[in-house]
A and B are shown apart, each in its own frame.
Chain A
Amino acid sequence: MPILEVKNLKIYYFTPSGIVKAVDGVDLYIERGETRCIVGESGSGKSTLGMGIAGLIDHPGRIVDGEVIFDGKIVASKNGIYTQRLLGRRITLIFQDPRSALNPVMTVGEQISETLQHNLGLDRREAYKIAYDLLRKVEIPDPERVLHSYPHELSGGMAQRVVIAIALSTEPDLIIADEPTSALDVTVQAEILRLFRSLVKSGKRSVLFITHDLSVALEICDTTSIMYAGKIVEEGLTREIFEKPLHPYTQALLSSIPRIGLKTGKLMSISGEPPLMIEPPKGCRFHPRCPFKLEICDKQEPILINLSETRRVACHLYK
């Protein structure tokens, strides 16, 4: 049984200017120990999906249809959200900006041990001891000093290591990480990605990793789902997708990344702009920008079909 099942999830924001259909019918399965990337551009709904799974959608947004099933139980649907008791314990979150995730007036040691005391029922002394070990595990060179530091005294990379330490502290079943390295410098990002991957793999944690960067997905994830305009348009092993993208959107996305060692002259680019999610295009949502548009594409919405055990695509070109 997968650790996470998302079935036909729809999350809409009810704004004064209209209903924004941020996530509009997403199915997603994550097996135990699987690291899954959600790749999409801004406005694709990838962050809303992550927040929806965690049960953290705020007004004016809400789940209007579908359900999130965690470890066999429905934890979020339009009828209610039941993730509170899981969050911070069996499901943990890592966000882009580590400093806003940490409490600025508590030392790192207090924050980690608070999590441990609250969630695992440890006493203060035990919690501090484990906090120290955790900081060593995330390769912080000077754990004793960092335990007694405040978040503003840490660099971005160090702060993100602390957040990762907290996220791993309760040995969660699922970690949701939303662009955790996008604010970091490249050399620091490389370090954090390597660290995160090794910790996740050694602990057999399941991960939902949200990013805009396909090459980050290649570094970190077994499997990837590509999102466009509130829908998943393609899924597969990350390497498969990178080597042979099937959906025209994925193809365009990949060929618009400049590559080293390959002077191509012009970059391929996707014409136009992503659609407004108040009034997404009829039929396939990518059809106004698609170079391979068929007759059927603006009439009928393609569904995700299985092409192999690992590969799924939602496009009329594959029938």
Chain B
Amino acid sequence: MILRLKNIGKYFPIRGGLLSRVVGYVKAVDGVDLEVEEGDTYAIVGESGSGKTTLGKLSIKLLDPTFGSIEFMGRDVTFAKGKELKDLRRSTGIVFQDPYRSLHPRKKIIDIVSEPLIINGQDPEEAHKIAVEFASMVGLTKDLLYKYPHQLSGGQRQRAAIVRALIYRPRLIVLDEPTSALDVSTQAQILNLLEDLKKEFKLTYILITHNLQIVYHLANKVAVMYLGKIVEKGPVEKIFESPRHPYTISLLSSIPAIDYVFSGGKINIPRITPTGEPPSPTKPPKGCRFHTRCPFVIDICRREEPTLQPVEKDHYVACHLWQKINA
């Protein structure tokens, strides 16, 4: 087990009024358990406001949790600081969605990607040499390293961001929508690259995305988030072949041209679309958070919050009706 999140949560205060008093909280992540094994590509899917990015940042302690605990490689790092935190930073990395904003616009690529090494006392010349080596592995030629971010294409920039995340040889990398800003042909290149690097460096990925096609292609496990909670999690094949939560089913059936994209009738999902739009995470609905949009809602859903129940080995769902729903 490389990462274990126990009942983790993150509330962001909302300030308002003349004295900027706290008037409420955005419950971005609200009690999540997640176990990531070494070598997993664990996908976290959800729509905007589901808390998936916050969960990704929590898992490598780029944010401090409001409650709950983080265990990384067997050690509790919830309150890590000093050397312990530095060690954690060195074993983890992150790649953001928008390489236009995540790379310093006035630094050359080589300085951006070797910076993590130099900060940690590596000789700059040595660090540059390592950067060139890593760059060639991700398909960035040496001359591109001496350019500024705006002189690179989106795909090249994302490769640079990957080098920066990789240069420490971390164990775990959080990929936060790594290809959402890219065209499909470039996306395919980056997805292939991520797969190669995973093998080469024995990496574990946490893949945050809203794109289920990418989940199916890249991940072996998936957790579906809705308004700060995991509503269903398990092995990718299981979740895609027999999803149990109405929200998971509706996500799958919302993929455009799903009947075409799903090949050979292997997976057959009834088309259900949830009514309306997700409520605000400041005031999540009582009971099951999905009940306001769920086509199967019954009385209990409005009163009682369902907990994650095992459907079978490793497959969990939080729905009062899961035994009746079989897509």
- Residue B282 at the A interface, CB < 8 A? no
B192 within 8 A of A: yes
Bitwise interface map of B from 247 to 281 toward A, beta carbon under 8 Å scored 1, else 0: 00011111111101111101100000110111000
Please name all residues of chain A whose beta carbon is closer than 8 Å to the beta carbon of B256 when the two chains form the complex. Answer: 189-190, 193, 213, 215-216, 218-219
CB of A198 within 8 Å of the partner chain: no
> Shortest Cβ distance from B307 into chain A, in angstroms?
24
Is A256 in the interface zone, CB < 8 Å from B? yes
**Segment from B105-113, B206-214, B296-304 that makes contact with A:** B206-214
Which residue of chain A has its CB nearest to the CB of B181?
A42
Q: How many residues of A contact B (CB 8 A)?
A: 40
CB proximity of A308 to chain B, nearest CB, Å: 21
List 13 contacting pairs A-B, 8 Å CB cutoff, sorted by A.
A41-B184, A42-B183, A157-B277, A185-B278, A187-B251, A193-B256, A218-B257, A259-B216, A260-B216, A261-B263, A267-B191, A269-B189, A273-B186
- Kindly state whether residue B153 has any CB partner on chain A within 8 Å: yes
Please tell me if the beta carbons of A188 and B277 are within 8 angstroms of each other in the complex. yes
Q: Please tell me if the beta carbons of B185 and A258 are within 8 angstroms of each other in the complex.
A: no
Q: Within the assembled complex, what's the spacing in Å between the Cα atoms of A268 and B184?
A: 11
> Is the pair A267, B188 in contact by a Cβ cutoff of 8 Å?
yes
- Choose one: A191, A269, A273; the contact of B192 (CB below 8 Å): A269
Partner of A141, one of B218, B254, B260, B276: B276
By a CB distance below 8 angstroms, the chain B residues around A253 are: 184-185
Whether A260 lies near B212 (C-beta < 8 A) is yes
Partner of B216, one of A190, A252, A258, A268: A258
Which residues in A have their C-beta under 8 angstroms from that of B191? 258, 267
Given A157-B277, A158-B277, A258-B191, verify A185-B257 contact (CB < 8 Å): no
Closest to A238 in B: B257
Which B-chain residue is minimally distant from A220 (CB atoms)?
A: B256
Hey, which bits of chain B sit against chain A, CB under 8 A? 47-48, 153-156, 183-189, 191-192, 195, 210, 212-214, 216-218, 240, 250-258, 260-264, 266-267, 273-274, 276-278
Question: Known interface pairs A41-B183, A215-B260, A267-B217. Does A260 touch B251 (Cβ–Cβ under 8 Å)?
Answer: no
Q: A215-B257, A242-B260, A269-B185 are in contact. Are A260 and B213 (CB under 8 A)?
A: yes
Contact between chains at A273 and B261 (CB < 8 Å): no
Q: Which of B210, B212, B262, B264 contacts A185 (CB 8 A)?
A: B210
Known: A187-B254, A258-B218, A263-B216. 16 other contacts (CB 8 A): A41-B183, A185-B47, A185-B277, A187-B47, A187-B250, A188-B277, A191-B273, A218-B260, A219-B256, A242-B257, A256-B188, A257-B213, A261-B263, A266-B192, A273-B155, A273-B156
A194 at the interface (CB under 8 A from B): yes
| Residues of A close to B216: CB separation below 8 A | 258-261, 263
Distance in Å from the Cβ of B267 to the closest Cβ of chain A? Answer: 5
**Is A155 in the interface zone, CB < 8 Å from B?**
yes
Q: Nearest A residue to B45 by beta-carbon distance?
A: A186
Contact between chains at A261 and B262 (CB < 8 Å): yes
- For A235-261 the 0/1 string (1 means CB < 8 A from B) is 000000010000000001100111111
- The answer to whether A189 touches B217 (Cβ under 8 A) is no
Chain B: minimal CB distance from A37 (Å)? 12
**Complex: chain B residue closest to A183, CB-CB:** B48
- Residue contact B262 to A260, C-beta cutoff 8 Å: yes
State whether A186 touches B254 (Cβ < 8 A). yes
A270 at the interface (CB under 8 A from B): yes
B217–A263 contact, CB under 8 A? yes
Select the residue from A155, A189, A219, A269 with max chain B CB neighbours within 10 A: A269
Pairwise interchain contact B255-A270, C-beta atoms closer than 8 A: no
A194 touches B185 (CB 8 A): no
For the complex, give the distance between the alpha carbons of A37 and B185 in Å: 19
Nearest CB of A to B29, in Å: 18
Complex: A185 Cα to B187 Cα, angstroms: 19
- Point out which of B48, B155, B214, B260 has the most chain A C-beta atoms below 10 A from its C-beta: B260
CB distance from B157 to the nearest CB of A (A): 12
CB pair A187 B274 closer than 8 Å:
yes
Task: Among B189, B256, B258, find the residue whose CB has the most chain A CB atoms closer than 10 A.
Answer: B256
A190 and B192 contact, Cβ closer than 8 Å, known pairs A219-B256, A261-B267: no
Q: Which residues A161-192 have CB closer than 8 A to chain B?
A: 185-191
Which residues of the partner chain A approach B276 to less than 8 Å between Cβ atoms?
141
CA distance A107 to B3 in the complex (A): 49
Neighbour of A257 across the interface among B154, B184, B277, CB < 8 A:
B184
Q: Contact between B273 and A259 (Cβ–Cβ < 8 Å)?
A: no
Q: In the complex, what residues of A have CB within 8 A of residue B188's CB? A: 256-258, 267-270
Question: Given A215-B256, A260-B213, does the pair A155, B277 have CB atoms closer than 8 Å?
Answer: yes
Chain A residues within an 8 Å CB radius of B257: 215-216, 218-219, 242
* A158 and B278 alpha carbons, distance in the complex (Å): 12
Which residues does chain A contribute within 8 Å of B153, judged by CB atoms? 273
Q: In the complex, what's the smallest C-beta–C-beta distance from A149 to chain B, in angstroms?
A: 14
